[in-house]
Structure 1
Amino acid sequence: MSNGFLSQEEIDSLLNGSMETQEPELISDIEKDLLGEIGNISMGSASTALYQLINKQVNITTPKVKITTLREIKNNFEYPNIILDVEYVSGITGRNILIMQTTDAAVIANLMMGGDGQVNTTELSELEVSAVQEAMNQMIGSAATSMATMFAREVNISPPKSTIWRDINEKVSENIPEDEAIVEVRFDLTIEGLLQSNMMQILPIDTAKKIVSIMMGEEQEVSKEIGQEAAYDGDYKSEEKSISTVEAKKIEEKPVEVHGASFEPLSQGIVGESHKNIDLILDVPLEVSVILGRTKKSIKDILNLSTGSLIELDKLAEEPVEILINGKKIAYGEVVVVDENFGVRITSIVSGADRIRSLK
């Protein structure tokens, strides 16, 4: 700047900077945090599945989420790698790609085949590739099951397609353009003193957006069957409607016979036998649980929880707690301390009407 005035270059620079700041974000910071938390939970299930296969402790760190492209990933990744490409077929739509270096895959394959995990090769035999593919298949399947629990809906995946990525010129995915913006969720993976590496999960922007909208309660599940039915022409729908109408009329015209219900009288002997047979089930274990209180929190509040956070419940300090048997409320009580352990003293038994309401 000279004489108190901006030069043309400075003006252009400011304008360009202003335009860049006004460009909308593909994924907001809150959405990144939510995707990271979802990835943390789902890949935690995946690490459990891997532990069961190799019988070694597996740790996956908190994920790091960022926007990138497949081309950028290719330019910053070492070769060779093994890629698992999965398509969601119900619950949500889109794809999920898992990438792991073959050196790490070789350790996992060796452990699965009964070895000690000490390997010094980047080449995988056909048997080792099959073993790693099965391990990644189990991991992504467990992750999908975990997502189904979080989404409160069924989530199914297609049979995974796996390939060995040996060269930068090879495509990572046939379905995602290399210059298209994607979401990268990266984890640090460690296996009990044998392996310390990273694993990558790739989601298209649309898939990431759908996952976020489901978790925020903004999207309802739409089945593919409904979409396929809407693709048929109007004549077919009219014909189907007329057939349904004819069948309905036939049902209406069919005479209906109504009879009163008849029951055999109860005998005293049968009642007596039932009291004797109750001894057969006296040793059946039942789960007893106590509800201290409940509350509702938004996803934003849940993500802000940390060590030391306080959660206020819907019960006052002097109110009785609920006592449940196999998930059914049967009594109320008060919390006591017995030999440095918590206990509950029953103060009242739920009445018959209250018990019926709790079963509904």
Structure 2
Amino acid sequence: MMDNFISQAELDSLLRKNGELNGKEETLMMPEDLDILSEVGNVTLSAASDALSKFLKQKVTISAPTVEALTFEAMAARFATPMAVAAMQIKGDVIGDTLIALEPEAAAAIASIVSGGDPVGDWAASEALAGLSTATLAALTEGVNYTAGYLFEALSEMTGLTVEPFTAETSIWEGDAGKRLAKHFMEKPVCVMTATIGINGQALGALWHLYAGAHAEAIVAGLHKKYNPEASEEDLSTNAVPVPERLPMVEEKPQPAVAPTKTSAAPFTASQATSAPLPEVEVQKPMFAPIKESSKAPQQKNLDLIMDVPLELSVVLGKTKKTIKDVLSLGTGSVVELNKLADEPLEIHVNGKLVAQGEVVVIGENFGIRITQILSREQRVDSLK
């Protein structure tokens, strides 16, 4: 009997061919799945912006993405202008390629920061991309590798899938987008997340994150499996309640909840239920006791719940900026000058936030820090500017 059934893949293929014969455009993904992928993009691109901010030491923002499922030809047509494209392989539960593309202005600004220059240049977009050297493209690749680690870690935590970036390579795409895309996506449908990237409050251009259609479907399926594991197809098919083909045409009318009297010898019938008057019920408003205000605030009890949460405390001795050339020239015995004077207090950070200042002390054979000042809220806000 099982030989008479067709698989879901064969059914999709038949529906696809039927749609082509009828001249209808195929729906690549359901709107509900695209909404789910938008939430995934919010989480993953937010993690990417935090990682890129750390890498560039500049404030990087990435807007909430819009998600589309496009045909291969429609996606290739979007590469009409030059784009800086980082191609990387992913492995784990999802295997294949994924692409991150940047418009010229954004790519040129990031390249300028990596090279130690002004984050916002005045070049034309085409000139900016044409001037990117091999070393700068390699530096962009390093930034993509760093950012991808955070992006796919957030994706794995959200979906329960193991997704790890393997390699990345950045190049400039100027024409032949169809041939270039074909090297990375064997599946024709392509899912693209489109967002706007900005640095230090200035929007620089679009950022695209491209998945193969099969990868996007695997991400949606992973979310369903993680957050609704009991609603699998097997459960729905095996635990379904049988429904009779034909229901009896009997109109059941409500019967009053009245106990039969002792003088009644005959059974209570449906006709008597319809003719007997319903008893009157007295309706009153509910009365509640007044709510007493508790004088004891639960703040201490709430604080007790988080007392065992570990926090990372770090002391910043000083910072400096160096170009790639300066970093490569460092060797054993090299001295790096920091931006701190000898008598200036050191910064004490808790989970990356500046909270206090102090001075170095020696405790036995270890270094320590003596807190000399706890920063006020206004001072902490000023330190973030």
Alignment TM-score, normalising by the size of structure 1:
0.53
- The 5 Å alignment of 1:49-128 reads 49-117=51-119, 118-120=121-123, 121-123=128-130, 124-128=132-136
- The 5 Å alignment of 1:311-326 reads 323-324=304-305, 325-326=307-308
CA separation of 1:71 and 1:216: change in aligned 2, threshold 3 A:
same
CA distance in 2, matches of 1:32, 1:16: 21
Q: Is the 8 A contact 2:160 2:226 kept in 1?
A: no
What amino acid maps onto 1:80 in structure 2? P
Q: Deviations over 1:288-330 (max 9, x none)?
A: xxxxxxxxxxxxxxxxxxxxxxxxxxxxx99x867434269xx
Give the equivalent residue in structure 1 for 2:31: 29
CA separation of 1:25 and 1:109: change in aligned 2, threshold 3 A:
same
Q: Deviations over 1:206-251 (max 9, x none)?
A: 100110011111699xxxxxxxxxxxxxxxxxxxxxxxxxxxxxxx
CA distance in 1, matches of 2:218, 2:146: 24
CA distance in 2, matches of 1:125, 1:16: 48
CA separation of 1:102 and 1:192: change in aligned 2, threshold 3 A:
same
Q: Is the 8 A contact 2:137 2:170 kept in 1?
A: no
Deviation at 1:155, TM superposition (A): 2.7
Give the equivalent residue in structure 2 for 1:217: 225
Deviation at 1:119, TM superposition (A): 4.5
CA distance in 2, matches of 1:108, 1:78: 22
Query: Which stretches in structure 2 are left out of the alignment for 5+ residues?
Result: 1-17, 229-292, 311-385
Percent identity, aligned pairs only?
A: 20
Corresponding residue pairs, total: 217
CA separation of 1:180 and 1:17: change in aligned 2, threshold 3 A:
closer
Q: Confirm or deny that 1:175 pairs with 2:172.
A: no
Deviation at 1:197, TM superposition (A): 0.5
Q: Is the 8 A contact 1:165 1:172 kept in 2?
A: no
Give the equivalent residue in structure 2 for 1:309: none
Larger Rg: 2
CA separation of 1:153 and 1:182: change in aligned 2, threshold 3 A:
closer
CA distance in 2, matches of 1:168, 1:159: 23
CA separation of 1:54 and 1:216: change in aligned 2, threshold 3 A:
same
Moved segments of 4+, more than 6 Å: 15-18
CA distance in 2, matches of 1:59, 1:168: 31
Alignment TM-score, normalising by the size of structure 2:
0.49
Deviation at 1:92, TM superposition (A): 2.7
Query: Which stretches in structure 1 are left out of the alignment for 5+ residues?
Result: 1-14, 221-316, 329-360
What amino acid maps onto 1:326 in structure 2? D
CA distance in 1, matches of 2:20, 2:211: 29
Q: Confirm or deny that 1:148 pairs with 2:164.
A: no
Q: Confirm or deny that 1:191 pairs with 2:199.
A: yes
Deviation at 1:126, TM superposition (A): 1.3
Q: Is the 8 A contact 2:106 2:197 kept in 1?
A: no
CA distance in 2, matches of 1:71, 1:186: 17
Give the equivalent residue in structure 2 for 1:133: 141
Q: Is the 8 A contact 1:65 1:186 kept in 2?
A: yes
CA separation of 1:193 and 1:97: change in aligned 2, threshold 3 A:
same
CA separation of 1:218 and 1:27: change in aligned 2, threshold 3 A:
farther
